[in-house]
Structure 1
Amino acid sequence: MGGDWQIRPARRDEAALLPAVEEASGTLFRTIPDLAWLADDGVMPAEAHLAAIEAGTCWVAADGADIAGFLTARAATEDGDGTDAGRAVLHVWEMSVAPDYQGRGLGRAFLEHAAAHAAKEAMVAVTLTTFRDVAWNAPFYARAGFTILPDAALTPRLWGMLAAEVAHGLPAARRCAMRRPVASVS
């Protein structure tokens, strides 16, 4: 825990380690009484991380032998009839930082890394879904350049993700989709 973490592509053998990081990170939900159940709700399986590793869209922050955190994303095609229809975006499926590393700028570093990757790949944006009112969710992402999409701007892809989250038990009124445009690298 020396703080000398570096963000790098996750290795195949690290996929099995990432659920434990997410589980540890998720214990913070126990501080919110009506969301405390999320701390015990299960995490993204290693197989999902492995698919992102193989796609080149899963990164870890390593501090020596420790995994300080990770960001797992997947490329998607923007759907709907908006100006970016048919264009590629990077969707963040999960970002978790181990408790001992929280509050050190690692989350923001992951988001900058993801945005740089999206720009390099000529994607138009980074998207995610999150809680509107949880301090380390939408308010944090807003400080990192994301904006909450109003309902009228939600694509069918994002509507579908939010609907699946609600079906899982997340409160619809507290969920939102966010987007951060990126400029492609020439």
Structure 2
Amino acid sequence: MITIRPARGDDAEALPQIEQSAGEAFRAIPELAWLADGDNVSVERHRALIAAGACWIAADDQDRPVGLLSAGIEGDALHIWELDVHLDRQGRGIGRALLQQAIDGARRRGLAAITLTTFRDVAWNAPFYQRCGFRILKPSELDERLARLLHDEAAHGLPTDQRCAMRIDLG
């Protein structure tokens, strides 16, 4: 049984390992396999995001984290930084449950939208979010923050032709 709950400070230590495990799925895509060897979000950054109050955990029946959604409030939007589920737990609806918790939380806060950046054609990225109601933003729809994030991702080696920003309006 999986429980979705707000993340706690003591969860932060386990989160980089979940991100690393989830990243192993990129090994199945030759041109993106290098992402599986990339840096993960630091424990310190997870602690800061948790302290800001917009992070959720999927915990197993012993309350051990097996999935995470880390987000931050950016103006009138909740921005998703990471949504990861341990590789051996994927495909069971855990990511969707975490995402629904974030949507519900953003609505309770009165936020206008949820945003994120992701891979356009990776099955568990943009196509997943589209099934959950998000839409890919056209370049003309990008605000300064999202345009800057995509630019920063490109500077860190992510292929610009494969990345996109997405949004779901909550109003």
TM over 0.5: yes
* C-alpha contact 2:79 2:114 (8 A) present in aligned 1: yes
Q: Tell me which of 22, 30, 33 is aligned to 1:33.
A: 30
- TM-score, length-scaled by structure 1: 0.90
Q: How does 1:92-107 map to 2 (within 5 A)?
A: 92-107=80-95
Question: What is the aligned partner in structure 2 of residue 48 from structure 1?
Answer: 45
59-68 or 133-142, larger mean C-alpha shift: 59-68
Cα distance between partner residues in 1 of 2:118 and 2:83: 11
* C-alpha contact 2:118 2:126 (8 A) present in aligned 1: yes
- Could you tell me the percent identity over the aligned residues? 51
Question: What is the aligned partner in structure 1 of residue 67 from structure 2?
Answer: 69
Structure 1 unmatched ranges of 5 or more: 78-87
State the 1:18 CA deviation: 0.1
Structure number, greater radius of gyration: 1
CA deviations on 1:128-150 (whole Å, 9 max, x unpaired) are 00000100000010000000000
State the 1:64 CA deviation: 2.3
Q: How does 1:17-28 map to 2 (within 5 A)?
A: 17-28=14-25
Q: Tell me which of 146, 152, 155 is aligned to 1:167.
A: 155
- TM-score, length-scaled by structure 2: 0.97
Q: What SS does structure 1 have at the residue aligned with 2:26? A: helix
* C-alpha contact 2:3 2:61 (8 A) present in aligned 1: no
Question: What is the aligned partner in structure 2 of residue 84 from structure 1?
Answer: none
Cα distance between partner residues in 2 of 1:59 and 1:112: 10
Question: What is the aligned partner in structure 1 of residue 114 from structure 2?
Answer: 126
Structure 2 unmatched ranges of 5 or more: none
Q: What SS does structure 1 have at the residue aligned with 2:146? A: helix
Q: Displaced runs of 4+ in structure 1, greater than 4 A?
A: none
Q: Tell me which of 163, 166, 170 is aligned to 1:178.
A: 166
Residues 1:147 and 2:144 aligned together: no
* C-alpha contact 2:59 2:67 (8 A) present in aligned 1: yes
Cα distance between partner residues in 2 of 1:61 and 1:140: 18
Cα distance between partner residues in 2 of 1:120 and 1:136: 27
State the superposition RMSD in angstroms: 0.7
